[in-house]
Amino acid sequence: MKLKLIPRSSCLAALALVPFLVGCGGGAKPVKVSGVLTLNGQPVEGATVQFVPVNEGGRPAAGLTKADGGFSLTTIEDQDGALPGEYKVVITYHPPVENAPPAQTTEQGMKQAMQAQAQAKKGKPKYVIPPAYSDASKTPFTQTVPANGPIKLDIK
């Protein structure tokens, strides 16, 4: 097999273009986005709020709600916001799973996992989010970024 060497000047020219290519992708920067999620007027803790771009090529953003229902979105870096544009807002909630101590064997790990699943089925979730809110094609929530102040999402 014969290898063909690339001239050094071609490699240097390609490297010189890298900074310009890295910036491709629209050049838009995330805008800080925060808000509050409530269910029948009460704050929802531990839910994921996701902004799904309406237009192709957009980037989603997501955040996790705190005890007061407050959230801040992340697109690229922690809590940097969302890129400007139109979004569908998707909300999901999964009850937290109790942490068990690390398993010493595979068999012990499987037993702990089965116990955690059985426990989760017995208990009712703290919040019940209607299914339409967790489906981007059905959610009634839409949002434009940048927003005029904090976003208020109240699920009924």
Domains of the chain (ranges, CATH numbers): 27-155 (2.60.40)
More confident residue, 123 or 132: 132
Q: Is pLDDT above 60 for 3? A: no
Contact 127, 10 (CB under 8 A): no
Contact 154, 38 (CB under 8 A): yes
Minimum mean pLDDT range among 41-45, 58-62, 97-101:
97-101
What stretch of H or E contains 19?
helix 8-22
Can you give the pLDDT at residue 26? 56
Can you give the pLDDT at residue 11? 42
